[in-house]
């Protein structure tokens, strides 16, 4: 019955280990035991039987590396497994797979390197590392050593975004990936939009609720989203990019008035991460606030949720959304990768990790978009003509002009037709040097129904 | 540098085939060349270089089986590859993987069986077959032969739903999967809701636009969605179910008035497929119209799109949405599976396909929900008391009663608090036997923010 082309039956997969051929347990080291680490340990304990079936072998946590052995931890974390010698743990011969949840470049990068060099697969949620030059090196190392370096948890929590791009859509010509990948800023913008709360207050509330760190820079300046955009460029387009390649504008200090005006025009202000392919194979990778039409599905993403559109030539526009952070959702993504790593190890294979080309970037000035501009001008005759002239001189066509505060001629809000971003920048430069313009107070891209 | 635990480097994966070790091409037979088949061939031709890299081997279509050799086909389909001998094609020694796009039980089932028996992996979009008793047998056969039987395209088009459940969320304890998985009915319901078009007219329009078949039974009676629900029960809960296990109510003949009333109450009427886990590990698998709160993301799914919620204990509530049908989106899902099958074949492994338990079903009468009931009564004193009494006798608590048409006391619309479905059924039975009730015109479940 078997044709000559038939492969032999595979190794034990997808079945509970039993009988004389039962595979030995796979030893897992967990590096870092904060919110995500503790949630991971709780999931691995609670579901060990299911995991053994899914992985094809029992999955045993054999050690948990922490910085401070004296800190109190949830009861589910076995004290006997704790160690403060992460490097020693990675080296141990009973460790087959390493889960890195320390975060940051150092010492996480060095620990992952050691694990990969020793032929151990690695699962990580470390977006900063993955989007750094070290990340490129680690991916190359994993490829060379024939082991997995998996990172579903690094972008958009439990949303199976990385795997969808890496496996389901691997034959797809992706046109664009864009979405809301930072829950902290989305929480802040949602509070400002829904309740008219000013930025500082919304940020303070996010900090109180644990959505934002004490130092919120990475979130509000867009750096966190930029790292994720660089990771998505790699998975979606096979282009090796780092966070520094990403054009990045955050939401720090955004004026609640602009959010209210946006609403009046029928838009929600959202911090978007965008990776898109342009003519000639160049990529635009960027993070910036955009005014999104209220009818767009991204406009209704509230609170700390994440949502990402994947636009493929054949697949069409897919949206994936869900909790973008949090201990359990992130740990859930780690478990999915861990099962993958254990299965692949058993089958002596790896997840797809094709070699990447360096990203060829399109200058942000070349992008086209409609714009929103708010400015303060002197309230005297001729000012409007001068301002309109500055737009016209640079080929930026005005779509609407409004005095947003009735009776206050000094506050002007413009929207433009689509224009090159470089032209808009030049316009703003010219406006700033006009004596009649006191200040350019805000400038945002306006997204279309299908474009960021 | 290599620990004793390190596996040897894997076979050539994720790299372009080159050099003396270049793997031989993998031969693919495509059975069926309608809309999806032709789109698949166009994708395989257009992206052959990328596919070879992703799959680890060149992927060659070596034959395309069609029922009618004389029919004209798109130019992208090479006439030289066409045959009307599907069984002969499956047997050919140069065929390693079979893509089945014929649909229906027969001859698709027999062809897939032959392929699996010959150790060839199979990719299929055939939901009817997968949700039939034959489907169970084919899954068992594939498992025993150690080959892949993959079917991402059978549910929700290009949305990577099956893989997300099978791989990303494999360690997740799924609570519920629910969503809109039939684009035809969603198109009809959207037209009725948005434009007040009656059912027959919306159906005729769907047929004109190619969204609905000439015989629309499978869509409008919910059978298509039921097959998908059965498939999702397997992938999400490891429970082997067939379409006949699914409690199924369609939308045929739905009254546009009820959609208008639903809207007035703040709900959209949607045809939902639901699979959820209940106490004691029983499953409820069902398809029925539900009134969904307008704030619910499913309420805003318009036209022929699909959208599915996956609710996991750790992952939280994830939503995946996109085009649920169409040649290219479906073909895109097939390509993802095909790459998987070729990769797995090269690595001598398979995608996870754990053995399943037979589904233990919860009787639909045990479910709880709020309800909407519309009835025609005689306009005379005492009727309302009798009707209210029938609800009360069965422990169903009325939440609101309205005469929807001012001045027409004969048209009553009730909403209830949460009640057992069995109690509601008994209430409706009692109402029908009341002389004062002329007819029960409609009865729908009302979904909560988080429940179907």
Query: What CATH number does residue B400 fall under?
Result: 3.30.70.260
Burial of B71 (0-12, 13-18, 19+ CB in 10 A): exposed
In a shared domain, residues B297 and B174: yes
Contact A350 B316 (CB under 8 A): no
In a shared domain, residues A429 and A299: no
In a domain? residue A210:
yes
Instruction: Give the pLDDT confidence score for residue B410 in this predicted structure.
Output: 87
Instruction: Give the pLDDT confidence score for residue A226 in this predicted structure.
Output: 98
Q: Which of B245, B12, B373 is nearest to A353 (CA)?
A: B12
Instruction: Give the pLDDT confidence score for residue A405 in this predicted structure.
Output: 67
Q: Is B179 on the interface with A (CB under 8 A)?
A: no
User: Which residues of B are less than 8 Å from A160 in CB distance?
Assistant: 160, 163-164, 167-169, 318
In a shared domain, residues B272 and B408: no
In a domain? residue B300:
yes
**What letter does residue A166 receive in the DSSP assignment?**
I
Query: What CATH number does residue B341 fall under?
Result: 3.40.50.720
> Which range, of B180-189, B262-271, B407-416, averages the lowest pLDDT?
B407-416
- The set of residues, in sequence order, having a beta carbon less than 8 Å from that of A316 and lying 6+ positions away, is B157, B158, B322, B323, B326, B328, B329
Instruction: Give the pLDDT confidence score for residue B11 in this predicted structure.
Output: 34
Give the percent of chain B with pLDDT over 90.
77
pLDDT at B388 over 60: yes
In a shared domain, residues A202 and A316: yes
Instruction: Describe the strand order of the beta sheet including A26-31 as a list of residue ranges.
Output: A82-83, A59-65, A26-31, A97-100, A121-124, A149-150
Mean pLDDT of B129-149: 97
pLDDT at B14 over 50: no
Query: What CATH number does residue B181 fall under?
Result: 3.30.360.10
Contact A316 B329 (CB under 8 A): yes
Token pair recorded at residue A191: 């509070």
Token pair recorded at residue B408: 């027409």
In a domain? residue A252:
yes
The reply to whether B228 belongs to the active site is yes
What is the DSSP secondary-structure string of B399-435? Answer: EEEEESSTT-TTEEEEEE-SEEHHHHHHHHHHHHTST
Dihedrals phi, psi of A285, to nearest 5 degrees: -125, 120
Beta strands in B254-315 (DSSP E): 267-277, 283-293, 305-312
- Of the residues A323, A343, A376, which one is the last residue of a structural domain? A323
Instruction: Give the pLDDT confidence score for residue B77 in this predicted structure.
Output: 94
Domain of A125 in residue numbering reads as: 26-157+329-356
Q: Which of A235, A339, A223, A239 is nearest to A286 (CA)?
A: A223
In a domain? residue A197:
yes
CA distance A242 to A42: 33
B79 alpha carbon, distance to own chain's centre: 33
What is the DSSP secondary-structure string of A361-400? Answer: BPPGGG-EEEEEEEEEE--STTHHHHHHHHHHHTTPPEEE
In a shared domain, residues B181 and B145: no
In a domain? residue B402:
yes
Instruction: Give the pLDDT confidence score for residue A295 in this predicted structure.
Output: 84
Instruction: Give the pLDDT confidence score for residue B407 in this predicted structure.
Output: 66
Contact B349 A347 (CB under 8 A): yes
In a domain? residue B210:
yes
Contact A94 B5 (CB under 8 A): yes
What's the total number of domains in chain A?
3
pLDDT at B338 over 90: yes
pLDDT at B302 over 60: yes
User: Which residues of B are less than 8 Å from A352 in CB distance?
Assistant: 13-14, 54, 343
In a shared domain, residues B248 and B185: yes
Give the percent of chain B with pLDDT over 70.
94
pLDDT at B17 over 70: no
Instruction: Give the pLDDT confidence score for residue B404 in this predicted structure.
Output: 65
Confidence of residue B21 (pLDDT cuts 50, 70, 90): low
In a domain? residue B255:
yes
Instruction: Give the pLDDT confidence score for residue B12 in this predicted structure.
Output: 32
What is the DSSP secondary-structure string of A211-233? Answer: SS-SS-HHHHTSHHHHHHHHHHH
Q: What is the pLDDT along chain A (452 residues), one digit of tens a residue?
A: 334 444 433 333 333 444 456 788 999 999 999 999 999 999 998 888 888 888 889 999 999 999 999 999 999 999 999 999 999 999 999 999 999 999 999 999 999 999 999 999 999 999 999 999 999 999 999 999 999 999 999 999 889 999 999 888 877 899 999 999 999 999 999 999 999 999 999 999 999 998 899 999 999 999 999 999 999 999 999 999 999 999 999 999 899 999 999 999 999 999 999 999 999 989 999 999 999 999 888 998 988 899 999 999 999 999 999 998 889 999 999 999 999 999 999 888 898 888 899 999 999 999 999 999 999 999 888 888 999 999 999 999 999 998 866 666 688 999 999 999 999 999 999 999 998 999 999 999 999 877 77
Q: Is the interface score ipTM higher than 0.90?
A: no
Helix residue spans in A287-326 (DSSP H):
none
Q: Is B18 on the interface with A (CB under 8 A)?
A: no
In a shared domain, residues B391 and B431: yes
- Cβ–Cβ < 8 Å for A126, A36: no
In a shared domain, residues B335 and B384: no
Q: How far apart are the first and last CA of chain B?
A: 55
Higher pLDDT pick, B61 / A169: B61
Instruction: Give the pLDDT confidence score for residue B405 in this predicted structure.
Output: 67
In a domain? residue A35:
yes
pLDDT at B334 over 50: yes
User: Which residues of B are less than 8 Å from A11 in CB distance?
Assistant: 348-349
pLDDT at B36 over 60: yes
| Residues B241-256 pLDDT 10s | 999 999 999 999 899 9
User: Which residues of B are less than 8 Å from A313 in CB distance?
Assistant: 328
The whole-model pTM stands at 0.89
Instruction: Give the pLDDT confidence score for residue B229 in this predicted structure.
Output: 98
Contact B321 A323 (CB under 8 A): no
Per-range mean pLDDT, top range of A346-350, B38-42, B445-449: B38-42
In a shared domain, residues A132 and A247: no
Number of CB pairs, chain A paired with chain B, less than 8 A apart: 275
């Amino acid at each position: 019955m078997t044709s000559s082309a038939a492969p032999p039956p595979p190794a034990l997969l997808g079945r509970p280990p039993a009988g004389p051929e039962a595979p030995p347990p796979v030893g897992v080291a967990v590096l870092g035991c904060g919110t995500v680490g503790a949630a991971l340990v709780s999931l691995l304990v609670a579901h060990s039987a299911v995991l053994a079936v899914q992985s094809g072998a029992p999955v045993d946590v054999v050690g948990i590396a922490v910085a401070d052995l004296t800190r109190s931890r949830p009861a589910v974390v076995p004290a006997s497994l704790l160690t403060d010698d992460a490097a020693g743990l990675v080296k141990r011969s009973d460790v087959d797979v390493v889960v890195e949840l320390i975060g940051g470049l150092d010492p996480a990068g060095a620990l992952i390197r050691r694990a990969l060099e020793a032929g151990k697969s690695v699962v990580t949620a470390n977006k900063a590392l993955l989007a750094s030059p070290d990340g490129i090196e680690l991916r190359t190392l994993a490829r060379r050593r024939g082991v997995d370096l998996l990172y579903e948890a690094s972008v958009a929590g439990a949303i199976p975004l990385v795997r969808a791009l890496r496996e389901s859509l691997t034959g797809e010509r992706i046109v664009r990936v864009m979405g809301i990948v930072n829950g902290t800023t989305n929480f802040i913008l949602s509070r400002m939009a829904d309740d008219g709360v000013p930025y500082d207050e919304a940020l303070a509330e996010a900090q109180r609720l644990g959505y934002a760190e004490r130092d919120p820079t990475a979130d509000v300046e867009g750096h966190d989203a930029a790292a994720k955009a660089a990771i998505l460029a790699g998975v979606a387009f096979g282009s090796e990019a780092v966070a520094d390649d990403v054009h990045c504008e955050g939401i720090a200090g955004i004026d609640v008035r602009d959010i209210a005006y946006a609403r009046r025009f029928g838009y929600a202000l959202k911090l978007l991460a965008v990776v898109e392919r342009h003519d000639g194979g160049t990529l635009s990778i960027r993070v910036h606030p955009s005014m999104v039409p209220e009818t767009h599905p991204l406009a209704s993403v509230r609170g700390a949720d994440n949502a990402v559109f994947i636009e493929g030539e054949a697949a069409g526009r897919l949206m994936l959304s869900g909790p973008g952070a949090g201990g359990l959702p992130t740990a859930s993504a780690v478990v999915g990768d861990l099962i993958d790593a254990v299965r692949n190890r058993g089958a002596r294979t790896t997840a797809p990790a094709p070699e990447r080309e360096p990203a060829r970037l399109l200058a942000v000035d070349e992008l086209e978009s409609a714009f929103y501009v708010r400015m303060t001008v002197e309230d005297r005759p001729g000012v409007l003509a001068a301002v309109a002239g500055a737009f016209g001189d640079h080929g930026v066509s005005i779509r609407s002009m409004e005095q947003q505060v009735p009776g206050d001629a000094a506050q002007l809000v413009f929207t433009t037709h689509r224009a090159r971003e470089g032209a808009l920048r030049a316009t703003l430069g010219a406006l700033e040097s006009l004596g009649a313009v006191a200040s350019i107070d805000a400038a945002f891209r306006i997204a279309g129904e299908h474009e960021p």
